[in-house]
Amino acid sequence: MAAIAGLKMLEKLTPEEMFTQCEWTKRDAIVGLFPPYIQEQYALRKANKKNVTKQVMIEGFTLKTPFGDQTLLKGTLLNLEPNKRQGLVGRNCKCFVSRRLDA
């Protein structure tokens, strides 16, 4: 329980402060520095949960052009699944980007 309280305290610090104040001999403290989705996967594995998915869902996703002058997607739900092709089709159907994400 003390480790969880320590993790809650680390959440209020800046990344630099979290890095310097981390207890590097405790695995839970190190995992507290990782992104939330990795922390969730770690907690599920620690609880011996089977079939943990590596699917990533991002709510409120916004995608802009490289120069930032146009917004392509605004406030959408982005759902990335491992070993699936991801694509974005333009208005005129000439622009198609496909990338397979390996988990």
Residue for token digits 């159907």? 93
E strands, the chain, are 56-64, 71-80, 85-89, 96-100
**Domain residue spans in the chain?**
2-46, 56-100
Confidence (pLDDT) at 103: 47
Confidence (pLDDT) at 91: 66
pLDDT higher at 10 or 61: 61
Alpha-carbon distance of 55 to 81, in angstroms, equals: 5
Q: How confident is the model at residue 1 (pLDDT cuts 50, 70, 90)?
A: very low
Q: Assess whether pLDDT exceeds 50 at residue 71.
A: yes
Q: How are beta strands 56-64 and 71-80 bridged, if at all?
A: antiparallel
- Average pLDDT on 4-27 reads 73
